[in-house]
Structure 1
Amino acid sequence: MTRSNFMMLATIVAAVFGLAFLVAPSQLVALYGVTLTPATEVIGRIAGSVILGFAIVFWGAREGNAADALKAVMMAGLIANGLDALILLHATVTGLLNGLGWLQVLINGALAIGFWYFAYGKGKTA
């Protein structure tokens, strides 16, 4: 197996588990005998966004090109932090998190904006 093929396999595995954690965290972990509460589903969804970010990085790094890998890292940061901001916004608005949840919404939202700016905005360097 080549490195490129391995990275494609890693991309598929990470994408499947990342999306499963994002969409149905309770159902996924129930396969392993674990029960989540609504509050811990938030953590499962955040884990899903991070795993999905890894899928993006693996895909971008599959050919060993530094420029493509950097683009993938920037996209992964944008997607993961953007999803986290939305997940945390929902959790805070619905009362699953206390008022400190707003701080995390702002932090992840600001990071997402930063990744967007340096990947696609005026801060784009290459």
Structure 2
Amino acid sequence: MKTIYYHGTKADLNIGDLIEVGFTSNYGTKRKSKYIYLTETLDAATWGAELAFGDGKERIYIVEPTGYIEDDPNVTDKKFPGNPTKSYRSKHPFKVVGEVTNWQSHSPEQLETMKNHLKKLKEMGIEAIED
């Protein structure tokens, strides 16, 4: 069975578009991205869409990696052995092959809790995305 990968964002993309490194990151300090991220879970992609910078519509795309992907070290470290969120990153483009149009947002309370957590990390000098 083929693995389905998702990418959550506020970017307006079309089928066939490539998501590539080098654009302003959706998170953190808004620097140019060295990696792009994808996940096997709708929940992680939902967080990606909800927490991305910008005023665009929250979107979840179905993507295909065009090269090597590795575990996302931002969520896979000594605190989270393995890769429980099934999140990955790559320096190779992802091709948009579809869009999930019917997905459930997190509750306003969950979203506020996550934003407060990210704010505290930032105040402590911890970058949400480590490239």
Class of the TM-score when normalised by the shorter of the 2 chains: under 0.3
Q: Which has the higher contact order (CA 8 A, sep 6+)?
A: 2
Structure 1-normalised TM-score? 0.26
Between structures 1 and 2, the one with greater helix share: 1
Structure 2-normalised TM-score? 0.25
